Structure 1
Amino acid sequence: MAENGQSRTARRKQKKASKKPLWKKIALWTIVAMLAIGIGVGALFTYYIATAPDIDASKLDTPFSSKLYDKDGELFADLGRKQRTKVEFDDLPQVLIDAVTATEDARFFDHPGIDVWRIGGAVVANITDGFGSEGASTITQQVVEKSFLSPEKKISLKVQEMWLALQLERKYSKERILEMYLNKIFYGNQAYGVAKAAEVYFGKTDLNELTLPEAAILAGLPQRPTAYNPFKNPDLMKDRMNTVLHLMVEHGKITEKEAEEARQVDIPSLLTDEKPDSTKYQAFVQQVRKEVEQKVDGADIYTDGLKIYTTIDTDAQEHVEFLLSDSEDNPISYPEPVVNPDSDEGEKVGAEAGMTVLDTKTGAVRAIGGARNGLESQGFNHATQMERQPGSTFKPIMDYGPAIENMQWSTYHQLNDDGPYDIAGSGGKQIETWADSYFGWVTARYALQQSLNVPAVKTFEEVGQKNAKAFAEKLGIGFGDNNVKLTDAIGGNIGTNPLELAGAYRAFANGGIYNEPYTVTKVEFPESGKTVNLKPEPEAVMSDSTAYMITDMLKSVVQQGTGELANIPDLPIAGKTGTTTRPDVEGSPDAWFSGYSTNYTISVWTGYDNNNIGLQGAETKIPLTLFKHTMSELSKGMETPDFTKPDSVVEVAVEEGSRPAKLPSDYTPESQIVTELFVKGTEPTKTSDRYDQLDPVKDLKATFDKESNSIQAEWKYDTEQEVSFKVSASVDGGQKQELSSTEETSIEIANVEPGTEYEIQVVAASGKTEGNTSEPATTTVKVPEDMEDDEDEEEDGDEKENEGGNIPAIGSLSAKPIPSEVAIDVSWQYNGPPVQYEVTVSQGGTPIQTQTVGTKGIVIEGNGVQPGQTYSITVVPVGQNGANQGVNGEAKSTEVTIPQSDEGGSDDGGSDEGSSDGGSSDEEETGGEEDTEEKESA
């Protein structure tokens, strides 16, 4: 029974236990988990604290200057070495103390080194917006971080920072800590510490002379010393000063009335006229700072005591700065200052410039020209900071580069520059040529060489916006949130700068290999021994065929295109010009040149900070001369090999004007053969038949017609081509004379000499291609002696010849223009004693040429014979034998007008050759009818 009772009791207890509420179980496990986490966090924090550095008194007061080394490891800058003046707490006026604590740490004099309330707010912000989004550092913590710790945003460092702040507060007074802080902070313009900052900005060496607005400015500067630089950005500084004044009112340091009075001050009126001396090579140093801050989280080159190894070539840097200066020795002629159209007071502004020089092989930045006459401390850097439209320098990047890469275009690829290009959806806006005319069918090489806009836009459309953008982005071109537009094809939408553009062009120069341009190779933290490598990794962003073919096209730009002014004899370089235009601006707001050799890549921009002012005429060529002088100087004494053609590219001779590209035939004239580049495997295989030799005429026959005293010649010819036939003849083996050019397959040779043998030659000639003729076909015909019934006439003739002075006039004189030629076909008949014929061509009554011939016809050309002119043809028979020797017969004349040549274009990209339409003028029709009538009457 007892066992049964115990069993029931145990079962009741077990049942009761199994009915424990769920929330109690969750609470229990939550407590256990929190204890575990707390123990773990505590252990981790204990580890962080144990590994924190010791407080070193020698590091508390003075920031460490960073040292910058050039490409050869030589020191060229020691940042912050001189711009310091130490101050003690007793030297600090109350207005400055109030401004600093209200802005940076309102409870500074009350907390033990860390501010729990601020930590709570920061925790919430970091949870919602991500770690590091909001700080809770007190002034004490900032002193610790700048003295002993890395600026990286890590939990371990934040724990160490709070721990060391507590330790620092135990060891030093609040007054001493504030003194440390104000001696350590960087205020911009190479000023470290509040005392030096007061001297730099306000010219005051006694801090007790500081006014409320000046104290507010100094308290606001450390947050963003570059952005809030009052010398450069007084309006932005004014906003920051007002924020400080608001915080001072909020924390009871000043009254609202005092704040309002301070807000009325004009900041530039407070500043000293003597601006601080700048560190050398400011444009380059500015980019160094940017790279270090971006790639080494939180690092400050002015306060962290870094050793920074840079890529600068100080000789190149000094030469670039010289070319951007107003030195009397500077070979560059800059425009005189012009009136700023946006100024009501007639303010004058000068042209600006920016330049970047890269090492083509590595992408290392060798020099940066940030502004005319040097870049002031933290001033606007035109080489790295601006965003201006690049004009036609974008054509290799947005158009022809992606076309070769994605569609394997050749440098010969045919494009039609046929007139303004309508921009869809623009309300009638068009893209037009910059030149005076359009060029018709041209090669891609010629289109880029002459910077033609319409072919570029057509190329962009065929490539597609997606492919164009992807290609450009691989070259480092940033689009941000901007949409790619049709006008990007000619650089008229998104902005860029010389650093970015030089990086893109360098990839073409470097066989398609790109890496971001860089000024820093590595950074060393001397205290910790830590080294950070900042050299970017190279990446293949296009095929070597694309890179080489674009380079070869850009060499044409410099050698015989828009970039000729940048050409340097005996130095293989490639490059592209670029200008921008706006309807509301006279001239060009932007002028560019980007070019390269195998050693250096250089990009140059010139213009005005106010892009409502345009460069005029030759001023747009300044970037080309800047490039030429810089590249020439850097290349002195250096071997500059030409660009090497990769195996993926082949050179092919093609027949100019063929579409698509065709190989030249054996008969293609040398003048019509061009050599272009093709991606291997895409070269043409078909041969052009445009210049193939014509087939000779067939079945040429010639017979003498006694009744008309003429030779009748005829032949056959089978072809769909437009041809004419040149007929020549020789008499008794004499010299051949061209008689006529005809489109018919027969001809009559009138008034032939009895007893002679004529050799007739007929050659087929192309009506479209000059010089394309067939092999000659020949035949002979014998003209018999006079028949018996003509013997009496012969005797009469002999008698007349012996008598002399009986030379009759010629008959059936005809003159007509020859189709497709600037020439006149003249023929006549004659029946009398032996003569030669004196043929005179006159215009307006003035003889322009005279010839003597023995045949009854002549082709007149050259020597003043021009299209659209009317000529008088006079033929005089001149006796040759006996008493008739030298006796002239009666002169006969006729007139003929040569029609204007057809000016229409042809298939070969703008050539005027072969443009005749076969003759359709009124003069030709009339001449033909007269000729027919005379032959019939004869």
Structure 2
Amino acid sequence: MNKNGAHPGRESGGRRSKSGRPRKSWLRRIVTFLLSCGLIGVAGLIVLTLYLRTQALPVGTFSQPSQMYDIHGDLIASFQSGQNREFVPLRDIPQYLIEATLAIEDKRFYDHVGVDLRGIARAAVVNVQQGSRVQGASTLTQQLARNLYLTQDRTWSRKIKEAVYAVQLEMQLSKDQIMEKYLNEATYYGNSAYGVQAAAKLFFGKDVSELTLAESAMIAGVPKGPRYYSPYFDMDNALARQQLILTEMANQGYITQQEADAAKREKLDIRPPEKKSLVVQAPYFRDYVRQVAITQLGIEEREFDEGGIRIYTTLDLSMQQAAEDAVAAQLEGAGELQASLVAIDPRNGYVKAMVGGKDYGDNQFNRAISDSRQPGSAFKAFVYLTALQQPGFTAVTKFKSEPTVFPYDGGRKTYTPSNFGGKYPNDYIDMREAIAKSDNIFAVQTMLQVGADKVIETARKMGVTSRLEPLPSLALGTYPVSPLEMAGAFGIIANQGVRIDTSVITRIESATGKLLYEAKPVKSKVVEPEYAYTLTSLMKSVFDTGGTASRVASLIKRPVAGKTGTTNTDAWMVGFTPELSAAVWVGYDRDRVIDSAESYKAAPIFASFIERALEAVPPKLFPVPEQVTSVYIDPATGKLATDKCPGARIETFVKGTEPTEYCSEHGAAPADQKEAPKKSGSWWNDLKRWWND
């Protein structure tokens, strides 16, 4: 020991930490701990690997048919019928198709052990950058494991099992065996086609071994989403994905850029899909429910078909049958003339019936949801609803109906509408007569005064999402809408201005009874009830003598309101009772001109359907809001009627907008009658008026 008390040779090695322990000892302990953890981890991994290798994979899950029910719990359809599946060995599958699948689905297939940790990390980074899940990381082996052994539930437990089974598959099968099973058992191409052989025959009518590079790339793109990338559903999407796959194949060295470019130019001879027969009830509704479940609710297509799920819908099968019968009766022997019908319960937004055409087996295009037809004068309901909410507009507002040229766009342009058949009163008419007889001059004059922008705003509030522009022709329904939109919008009027989101599915349950989806309709008041009722009162006149639907009035034994619409190529009848709103369209798919006899078919379809659909429901009056009043008016002057006024009628007004002056053209009102004509609206008076009519 030296004079400072230190041992010679320990100046550095003997230095201690503040705790008194040598620093090397502390570091040695850390290293030893980490090595121990590593050894334990390796040992655990070896044990887990041996365990997984010795464990048998579960028995492959057998698909279960999913089922769809109506509002009463009656079965509408059972899916997964007639699967098209044919196994082919890997050696008979073109290398192009295998490489196309690898390029777009799992480029590191031959480098991972069933789970691609690098792919997971890459996907996580991309998803964080985009703020949503835009890229997945499931390998082909994971997809195979999921489709063979698991459900499509989006849960962590399912993902963990999927990863475990994928690793087991990699341990027990070669890469080629996994690829063979994937291409034959795990891929669904829509139209009941499972596996590449079925897909090749479905789309190209040939054996899979005969596929070209371009055809292989097309098929490889479909499993990602048969509803989006099938050439039967969206050729543009299918071609875009095919070209993406060809680009990826070139980038990854499977083909040259010249080969990719040549394949992109190759014209594909897609085989037309086989015609479907009407094997289920409500086929157009069934297809629409499927579309909503897959595109809006996130249910995977394969799960929808064969996941054993139960879909509970809003449809009423008895109403559906009434709708189909009404359409069939009017279109029998009508050649290529088509029709569609949608009925909605305005009290809850439930679609109760849907007919998309006269023959589903011949043509599966659903005209009930297509926004490609002009509604004509049926659109005027939005014009008059807008007007009634503006100062100065009531049921007795008058305009002169005569040939008129309307300037617009600052006077730089003009619009010249005409009445049906070129007939004009050449006199002043009020709003009730204009609605009953569908006067075009009155409608355009009204819209130009209230503003086309306000009419569009009203239509949007009522659920119309189709393109609309603020032009004078808008008043006459020149912009296409769908029957579904029209039925929903008129349902809001029937429901006293309360909008409830239209729905077709009430809930979806998994095969095990787990709730996957439950509808929670949103209610919102978009129109005050007094304005909705006033318009309802006016549209009841459409069925009165002289109204455009008067010829079917005798077929409907209950209060009903509505509006007809006719263009050169379309005929509409949209109307409602307190319990049901329905839109009927009649026309040709190719915009062929319809004659007068054909245009008259929409109203009888509507009347026949409404009466039969509600045959078990007692007639019900439209409820009268508190802010509505009824008074007797003189039609000639629009003022309060006296006992001298000929043709006096009772008219509906929002309180505060009714006339206060008596007619003086037919003699003064007796002193004891100056208050008598004015009376408050009530259900009893409404009932007596309806009964007397």
The TM-score normalised by the length of structure 1 is 0.58
User: Given residue 83 of structure 2, which amino acid in structure 1 is its aligned partner?
Assistant: Q
1:681 counterpart residue number: 656
User: Within the alignment, does 1:77 sit opposite 2:77 as a pair?
Assistant: yes
Equivalent position SS for 1:100? helix
1:226 counterpart residue number: 227
- How far, CA to CA, are the matches of 1:149 and 1:113 in structure 2? 18
Deviation string for 1:305-357 (max 9, x for gaps)? 321101222343345445555xxxx3435654xxxxxxxxxxxxx34332212
* 2:575 maps to which of 595, 602, 622: 595
User: Within the alignment, does 1:640 sit opposite 2:619 as a pair?
Assistant: yes
User: Which structure 2 residues correspond to residues 751-790 of structure 1 after superposition, within 5 A?
Assistant: none
1:424 counterpart residue number: 408
Does the Cα contact within 8 Å between 2:150 and 2:158 map onto a contact in 1?
no
**CA spacing shift, 1:640–1:211, aligned 2, 3 Å:** farther
**CA spacing shift, 1:293–1:235, aligned 2, 3 Å:** closer
- How far, CA to CA, are the matches of 1:251 and 1:606 in structure 2? 53
2:331 counterpart residue number: 332
Equivalent position SS for 2:414? coil
- How far, CA to CA, are the matches of 1:603 and 1:283 in structure 2? 15
CA drift of 1:56 comes to 10
Equivalent position SS for 1:431? coil
1:498 counterpart residue number: 483
Does the Cα contact within 8 Å between 1:460 and 1:489 map onto a contact in 2?
yes
Instruction: Name the structure where helix makes up a greater proportion of residues.
Output: 2
Does the Cα contact within 8 Å between 2:277 and 2:361 map onto a contact in 1?
no
CA drift of 1:139 comes to 2.2
1:66 counterpart residue number: 66
1:663 counterpart residue number: 640
Deviation string for 1:363-399 (max 9, x for gaps)? 211221123311679x4321113333322111112x1
User: Within the alignment, does 1:390 sit opposite 2:375 as a pair?
Assistant: yes
Equivalent position SS for 1:650? strand
1:271 counterpart residue number: 271
* 1:507 maps to which of 475, 489, 492: 492
1:414 counterpart residue number: 398
**CA spacing shift, 1:401–1:151, aligned 2, 3 Å:** farther
- How far, CA to CA, are the matches of 1:616 and 1:249 in structure 2? 57
1:752 counterpart residue number: none
1:473 counterpart residue number: 460
Does the Cα contact within 8 Å between 1:320 and 1:369 map onto a contact in 2?
yes
1:305 counterpart residue number: 308
**CA spacing shift, 1:109–1:278, aligned 2, 3 Å:** farther
1:554 counterpart residue number: 539
User: Given residue 215 of structure 1, which amino acid in structure 2 is its aligned partner?
Assistant: S
User: Given residue 78 of structure 1, which amino acid in structure 2 is its aligned partner?
Assistant: S
Deviation string for 1:863-883 (max 9, x for gaps)? xxxxxxxxxxxxxxxxxxxxx
CA drift of 1:505 comes to 0.7
Deviation string for 1:229-256 (max 9, x for gaps)? 4456556645544444444444444566
Deviation string for 1:58-100 (max 9, x for gaps)? 5855554321112221222222243252637557614332332
User: Within the alignment, does 1:691 sit opposite 2:693 as a pair?
Assistant: no
**CA spacing shift, 1:615–1:467, aligned 2, 3 Å:** same
Equivalent position SS for 1:631? helix
Moved more, 133-142 or 253-262: 253-262
2:384 counterpart residue number: 400
- How far, CA to CA, are the matches of 2:152 and 2:491 in structure 1? 35
Equivalent position SS for 1:653? strand
User: Which structure 2 residues correspond to residues 569-608 of structure 1 after superposition, within 5 A?
Assistant: 569-580=556-567, 588-608=568-588
- How far, CA to CA, are the matches of 2:278 and 2:172 in structure 1? 38
Equivalent position SS for 1:226? helix
Equivalent position SS for 2:380? helix
User: Within the alignment, does 1:459 sit opposite 2:459 as a pair?
Assistant: no
**CA spacing shift, 1:157–1:92, aligned 2, 3 Å:** same
Instruction: Tell me the percent identity.
Output: 30
**CA spacing shift, 1:428–1:681, aligned 2, 3 Å:** closer
Does the Cα contact within 8 Å between 2:307 and 2:511 map onto a contact in 1?
no
User: Within the alignment, does 1:653 sit opposite 2:653 as a pair?
Assistant: no
**CA spacing shift, 1:436–1:237, aligned 2, 3 Å:** same
1:289 counterpart residue number: 290
CA drift of 1:524 comes to 0.8
User: Which structure 2 residues correspond to residues 177-326 of structure 1 after superposition, within 5 A?
Assistant: 177-178=178-179, 179-180=181-182, 182-202=184-204, 207-208=208-209, 210=211, 212-231=213-232, 237-254=238-255, 267-268=268-269, 271=271, 274-275=274-275, 280=280, 281-300=282-301, 301-322=304-325, 324=327
Does the Cα contact within 8 Å between 1:449 and 1:556 map onto a contact in 2?
yes
1:359 counterpart residue number: 345
User: Given residue 392 of structure 1, which amino acid in structure 2 is its aligned partner?
Assistant: S
- How far, CA to CA, are the matches of 2:500 and 2:484 in structure 1? 12
* 1:524 maps to which of 509, 513, 516: 509
Equivalent position SS for 2:366? coil
Alignment: residue pair count = 604
User: Given residue 104 of structure 2, which amino acid in structure 1 is its aligned partner?
Assistant: T
Moved more, 84-93 or 447-456: 84-93
Equivalent position SS for 1:366? strand
Equivalent position SS for 1:76? strand
- How far, CA to CA, are the matches of 1:675 and 1:193 in structure 2? 70
Equivalent position SS for 1:639? coil
User: Within the alignment, does 1:433 sit opposite 2:408 as a pair?
Assistant: no
Does the Cα contact within 8 Å between 2:484 and 2:583 map onto a contact in 1?
yes
User: Given residue 316 of structure 1, which amino acid in structure 2 is its aligned partner?
Assistant: M
Of the two, which has the highest radius of gyration?
1
Does the Cα contact within 8 Å between 2:401 and 2:424 map onto a contact in 1?
no
Does the Cα contact within 8 Å between 1:409 and 1:679 map onto a contact in 2?
no
Moved more, 90-99 or 597-606: 90-99
Does the Cα contact within 8 Å between 1:577 and 1:593 map onto a contact in 2?
yes
CA drift of 1:598 comes to 3.0
Does the Cα contact within 8 Å between 2:497 and 2:527 map onto a contact in 1?
yes
CA drift of 1:406 comes to 4.5
User: Given residue 491 of structure 1, which amino acid in structure 2 is its aligned partner?
Assistant: G
Deviation string for 1:780-839 (max 9, x for gaps)? xxxxxxxxxxxxxxxxxxxxxxxxxxxxxxxxxxxxxxxxxxxxxxxxxxxxxxxxxxxx
In structure 2, runs of 5+ residues without a counterpart are: 1-54, 670-693
Deviation string for 1:203-248 (max 9, x for gaps)? 56x6445555543332122234234444565566455444444444
- How far, CA to CA, are the matches of 1:56 and 1:621 in structure 2? 69
User: Given residue 451 of structure 1, which amino acid in structure 2 is its aligned partner?
Assistant: S
1:449 counterpart residue number: 436
In structure 1, runs of 5+ residues without a counterpart are: 1-54, 337-349, 581-587, 695-938
Equivalent position SS for 1:223? coil
RMSD: 3.6
- How far, CA to CA, are the matches of 1:57 and 1:528 in structure 2? 25
CA drift of 1:504 comes to 0.6
User: Within the alignment, does 1:108 sit opposite 2:93 as a pair?
Assistant: no
CA drift of 1:454 comes to 2.4
User: Given residue 271 of structure 1, which amino acid in structure 2 is its aligned partner?
Assistant: R
- How far, CA to CA, are the matches of 1:594 and 1:136 in structure 2? 49
Does the Cα contact within 8 Å between 1:332 and 1:626 map onto a contact in 2?
no
**CA spacing shift, 1:497–1:273, aligned 2, 3 Å:** closer
Does the Cα contact within 8 Å between 1:503 and 1:517 map onto a contact in 2?
yes
Equivalent position SS for 1:386? coil
User: Within the alignment, does 1:619 sit opposite 2:621 as a pair?
Assistant: no
- How far, CA to CA, are the matches of 1:639 and 1:468 in structure 2? 35
1:881 counterpart residue number: none
CA drift of 1:624 comes to 1.8
Deviation string for 1:467-490 (max 9, x for gaps)? 43332222211156x544443222
